[in-house]
Structure 1
Amino acid sequence: MAEPAPAQVTANRAELEEEKARIQKRLREFDTVLKRTTDEKRVSLGELRAVNQKLEARESYIATLNRELRLVKQEIQQTSSRIDQLKKELESLKEEYAKMIYTSYKLNQGVNLVAFIFTSATFKQFYMRLKYLKQYSDARKKQVEQMEKVSQNLIQKQQELEAQRSNQLAVLAQEEEQRKELNELKTEQQQLVSSLSQKEEALKKEIAATRKQQEELNQLIKRVIEEEMRLARAMAERENETTAEQPAEKSLPAAPKATALSSSFASNRGKIPWPVESGFISRKYGTYPHPTLKGITETNDGVDIQTNNNAPVKAVFAGRVTKITTVPGMGGTIIIKHGDFYTMYSRLKTISVTSGQDVNTSTVLGTVYTDADGISELHFQTWKGLEVMDPSIWLSSK
């Protein structure tokens, strides 16, 4: 397999540094959230989910360090190869220079250079001998300069090699430290699982309560969307009746604002900002095994985002607030319409907007609620019409 070009190695290094910075930022967010949870001195599923997510991030960071180690090894191989080439090139130049010196010595034996020039039979011969000596002198000078240049390059590459080897040792030490922290985190995870497994009945009740809350949320947003669709149809029928009564030449079709908003929302898939400044997805979308109870599954029609205490919750896209209510167990809930799309924000402690209000991206809707276990968690959903969608495909990567 051919080694990657130096330019490609540089690009790969820049990409790795960016990925490391991104994962380090996530790990700091986990630390902040987990510190708040640990301070509450309660063992909860929320803490376990945070630890699980941190564990995944730590493993990703170690994988990134391993990629960096492979990259450093490639850099060392390339630099070592270049050093070998420069050594061969310098040796070749020295051999050529030695031959030039020897040739010069042989030519000068018994011959005085001044006499060699001034004993020319003709002016043309005089000029050609003078030109020859100058070219020979320039060639020797150029050879010396070339040897000096190669020597300097060789010294530079040897210094680069030493720096790369030091970098390799630093990354190895960092990887060892990360593996140590990973093992400590796995121990913490096992302790949490063990503690929670002793609360099986309480956990089953919590799962049942969560499913009931989820169903109530789903029924709420479906009623809101159905009412919005009914109003939209009624408005369209009135507009059609009005248009039919008007002369044809005065009928000017207008581009519906809702259609433009729907198109804009759809085109921003994977680019929409998060509803909270910092945090991580503690419960993903879909159906998956419970983290501690065997044979039990969890279902989530949105995503749960653990964040900081009293974190501001923001609208992820421009739209209109169509519903503000309170759902038992889910706290304050806001539904925003974005054309054919809807976003829902639940588990709010405070609400800063009013029903019918137009909002922009990043308009503060309220603050997140913190439960008795010290978990500050936002429940976030995305819908297109009556079809629920995975919010994570819309949110920008962190």
Structure 2
Amino acid sequence: MKSTRLFLFLILLCFGIPQFGLYAQTKKTRAQLEKEKTDIQKRLAEFDQILKRTAETKRSSIGQLNAVNKQLQTRITFINTLSREVTLLNTEIRETENAIGSLEKDLVNLKEEYSGMIYTSSKLNSGLTMTAFIFSSTTFKQFYMRLKYLKQYSDARKKQVELINQKTEELAQQRITLEEKKSEKQLVLNQEQQQKQKLDQAKRQQQGIVNDLSKQEQDLRKKIAAAKKQQENLNSMIKRIIEEEIRLAEAEARKKNSTASKSSGSSIPLTPEAAALSSSFAGNRGKLPWPVESGFVSKRFGTHPHPTLKGISEDNDGIDIQTKPNSEVRSVFDGEVTKIFTVPGYGGTIVVKHGEYYTMYSKLKVISVKSGDKVKAKQVLGQVYTNREGVAEVHFETWKGLQPMDPSSWLAGL
């Protein structure tokens, strides 16, 4: 009976099914963390380039402060990601240690069971050899049953040896995995410590820039007043352009006695082609590509407090994207270049029409298109201008008819 129970135990043990759900879930989370780390490191490298260029002027500027602030935010995100990775590694280390403990127990039990099998076999045979045990049978049926039993017992012992070897190998592999996890954790901890040191350096740099800018208060106030006037001039120019577009479209519609459609909320008569383009543009809200390949939003849409001057606010009818010098500026959607002009403080400016919608790109030093050109999404319109402070920044606006809209709601990832 005892040998039979051992045999049944081995059969059940051999067909046990491991659980891989938690491991797969952990692996997936690790992959997500690795991708997140790669993306953050790529952005940090871009911001380092932008900051390096602004620092070359040896004079603190709002653009330099914006770059440092963005770098700080991104580095904090990176540190949080590394911290999450350490937490995940701690979990994996505990799971591996638990697995090692279970394997060690299994190995002890298997060896005890194997010893028990040898002992039971010797007792059952009463000191006889296997051959003598078989041929000492008194009946053919007993002979057959003893032969069958000994074969099953022999197979069970072989399986037991195989399981012992398998568990021994698994245990060795788990111990290797444990050491790898511990080494990996130490590398991440070192990386986290390095990032914290860089974060402290960036904070000191940020405070130094703020202190320098506070000494330039009078100059900054003049710049703010000038920028406000320039923004008003830019808005007036855009409105005149759109109003002229509306008058021309209405005149063309009257001339042709057209039944061209009008989009909801717009007074611009649209041809079927323009209406389709307008609808397509509206359908891509939140999916449009950025007007530059890399960079960050340095000034958002609406009214915001000045970053260093208390009680002073700034207005923005678009967004400003700080990028690398000489970056190409691209159309965010298919459309037609309706106007190219220059405004003091905003440099070269391009307006692209997308049915009843308009996008505007300012602060360009090179313009690669002309009025009337049909453009495609991501087609290069020109090149961004870099000012005397080393800041390369494109100003981008979106309009529906005569109403400016927040570009952040249209661009992907904002």
SS in 1 for 2:361: strand
- Where does residue 75 of structure 1 map in the other structure? 92
**Larger mean Cα displacement after TM superposition, 281-290 or 62-71:** 281-290
**Larger mean Cα displacement after TM superposition, 79-88 or 161-170:** 79-88
Q: 4+ runs of 1 displaced by more than 6 Å?
A: none
- Where does residue 231 of structure 1 map in the other structure? 248
- Which of these residues, 128, 135, 145, is aligned with residue 145 of structure 2? 128
Shift in Å, 1:179: 0.5
Shift in Å, 1:255: 8.1
Q: Which amino acid aligns with 1:219?
A: S
Does structure 1 residue 309 correspond to structure 2 residue 325? yes
Query: Does the Cα contact within 8 Å between 2:359 and 2:396 map onto a contact in 1?
Result: yes
Does structure 1 residue 339 correspond to structure 2 residue 355? yes
**Larger mean Cα displacement after TM superposition, 183-192 or 116-125:** 116-125
- Which of these residues, 270, 287, 292, is aligned with residue 303 of structure 2? 287
SS in 1 for 2:397: strand
- Where does residue 73 of structure 2 map in the other structure? 56
- Which of these residues, 70, 87, 102, is aligned with residue 119 of structure 2? 102
Q: How far apart in 2 are the matches of 1:110 and 1:86?
A: 35
Q: How many residues align?
A: 385
- Which of these residues, 210, 213, 219, is aligned with residue 196 of structure 1? 213
- Which of these residues, 387, 403, 406, is aligned with residue 387 of structure 1? 403
Query: TM-score, length-normalised on structure 2?
Result: 0.88
- Which of these residues, 137, 149, 158, is aligned with residue 166 of structure 2? 149
- Where does residue 329 of structure 1 map in the other structure? 345
SS in 2 for 1:5: helix
**Larger mean Cα displacement after TM superposition, 85-94 or 58-67:** 85-94
Shift in Å, 1:25: 1.1
Shift in Å, 1:241: 5.0
Q: How far apart in 1 are the matches of 2:37 and 2:353?
A: 37
- Where does residue 272 of structure 1 map in the other structure? 288
Q: How far apart in 2 are the matches of 1:93 and 1:34?
A: 64
- Where does residue 238 of structure 2 map in the other structure? 221
Evaluate the alpha carbon distance shift between residue 267 and residue 73 of structure 1 in structure 2; reply closer, same or farther with a 3 A threshold. farther
- Where does residue 177 of structure 2 map in the other structure? 160
Percent of aligned positions that are identical: 58
Q: Which amino acid aligns with 2:131?
A: V
Q: How far apart in 2 are the matches of 1:377 and 1:241?
A: 43
- Which of these residues, 86, 108, 116, is aligned with residue 91 of structure 1? 108
Q: How far apart in 1 are the matches of 2:225 and 2:156?
A: 90
Query: Does the Cα contact within 8 Å between 2:125 and 2:133 map onto a contact in 1?
Result: no
Shift in Å, 1:177: 0.4
Partner deviation per Cα, 1:287-325 (whole Å, 9 max, x = no partner): 222111111122222111112222221111110001110
- Where does residue 135 of structure 2 map in the other structure? 118
Shift in Å, 1:226: 2.7
Query: Does the Cα contact within 8 Å between 2:253 and 2:259 map onto a contact in 1?
Result: no
Aligned-residue CA RMSD (Å): 2.0
SS in 1 for 2:349: strand
- Which of these residues, 363, 369, 374, is aligned with residue 358 of structure 1? 374
Shift in Å, 1:114: 1.4
- Where does residue 207 of structure 1 map in the other structure? 224
Partner deviation per Cα, 1:18-49 (whole Å, 9 max, x = no partner): 11111111111111112211222222111111
Query: Does the Cα contact within 8 Å between 2:335 and 2:354 map onto a contact in 1?
Result: yes
Q: How far apart in 1 are the matches of 2:182 and 2:249?
A: 67
- Which of these residues, 40, 56, 64, is aligned with residue 39 of structure 1? 56
Q: How far apart in 2 are the matches of 1:26 and 1:209?
A: 32
Shift in Å, 1:91: 2.1
- Which of these residues, 21, 36, 39, is aligned with residue 22 of structure 1? 39
- 5+ residue gaps, structure 1, are 244-253
- Where does residue 279 of structure 2 map in the other structure? 263
- Which of these residues, 187, 190, 196, is aligned with residue 170 of structure 1? 187
Q: How far apart in 1 are the matches of 2:99 and 2:41?
A: 34
- 5+ residue gaps, structure 2, are 1-20, 261-269
Q: How far apart in 2 are the matches of 1:128 and 1:231?
A: 105
Shift in Å, 1:123: 2.8
Partner deviation per Cα, 1:73-112 (whole Å, 9 max, x = no partner): 1211222222222222222222221211221121233323
